[in-house]
Amino acid sequence: MTQKYKVILRAEDLNASALFILFEMDRDHFPTPWSKEAWYKVFFSVGQRLLLIAEEDDVILGFALFDITSADSFAHLLKIVVGPNVRGVGIGKNLLSASIMVLKERNIKSFFLEVEEHNSHAINLYESLGFKIIHQKKQFYSSGTTALIMTLNV
């Protein structure tokens, strides 16, 4: 069993069943999941995206989804989700590191993300890769919780 990463740069490269699996993972394992409509809108709208999928034996273990602004050499982490049965073994860190490397190869130099202020596991992951907290957004999430804004320049 070997873990592999699949880079998806265009919506056409992602089949409907894989998109549904990503939607289900988001819905079942992310504190603020998106609706099906939001998934469709983000992934199939005009704009540049990077989706990196971690899989093993054709089973999706997790994914990272970025919005890219090439003109400004800028990427926004929209989602990173790892299934609960494989958490704590480095898949999230590997997904994020691999995504940053792929984006650096496309001349992306700045990254930013939002994370719930009480999500210490995610904050520790981001800080371990060099992200810094630069701001707080009160009541950012639909639940009313505060988001920390984190950035990384490479």
Catalytic positions, written as ranges: 114, 126
CA 81 to chain centre: 7
Tokens of 53: 């999928």
Q: How far apart are CA 71 and CA 87, in angstroms?
A: 35
Strand order in 147-153's β-sheet? 3-8, 48-56, 59-69, 74-82, 110-116, 147-153, 132-137
Q: How far apart are CA 24 and CA 101, in angstroms?
A: 27
Among residues 64, 70, 30, the alpha carbon closest in space to that of 50 is found at 64
Residue pair 116/80 in contact (Cβ under 8 Å)? The answer is no
